[in-house]
Amino acid sequence: MNLDPVFEASLAIQLHFYTVVPAFVLGTIQMGLPKGTPLHRWNGYVYMALMMFTATAAIFIPSFMQSGRLFGHFGFIHLFVPLTYVSVPLALYNARKGNIRAHRGAMIGLYIGGLLIAGGLAFMPGRIMHDMFFG
């Protein structure tokens, strides 16, 4: 693995990388933790904050595909930003209201969509993650 592509990237890409990696680790840990415990709550708060920072940094990263751009520098992968901006507050609201089913759905959707799918797209040829691992 070669981290040079991240170190040479823009500040937005670096911030995105440095928040998404721990978010992925914490999100994965969350799936296996007993639910409702203080550790689950603490990890959840940190995970949600990291995901909000990750999504905000993503706004400042232009789409790498000219043909796949939606508006200006935004590409299809940027659709995960509003998913995050909706899912995080919704999950927090539902947890506080005791609607655990809705909380779980929002968090699983955020993990699958915001981390697994968007993360998988980050490994496409021409992207920094691809260069880091397959470069």
Q: Which of 3-12, 21-30, 76-85 has the highest mean pLDDT?
A: 21-30
Q: Higher model confidence: residue 22 or residue 124?
A: 22
Choose the weakest-confidence range: 40-49, 64-73, 79-88, 125-134.
Answer: 64-73
The reported pTM is 0.87
pLDDT of residue 123: 84
Domain boundary assignment for the chain: 4-134
- pLDDT over 80 at 67, yes or no: no
pLDDT of residue 28: 95
- pLDDT over 80 at 33, yes or no: yes
- pLDDT over 70 at 68, yes or no: no
Q: Residue 62: is it exposed, middle or buried by C-beta count within 10 angstroms (0-12/13-18/19+)? A: middle
State the virtual CA torsion across 127, 123, 87, 54 in degrees, nearest 10. Answer: -50
Q: How far apart are CA 1 and CA 34, in angstroms?
A: 33
pLDDT digits (tens, 9 = 90+) for 80-117: 999 999 999 999 999 999 999 999 999 999 999 988 99
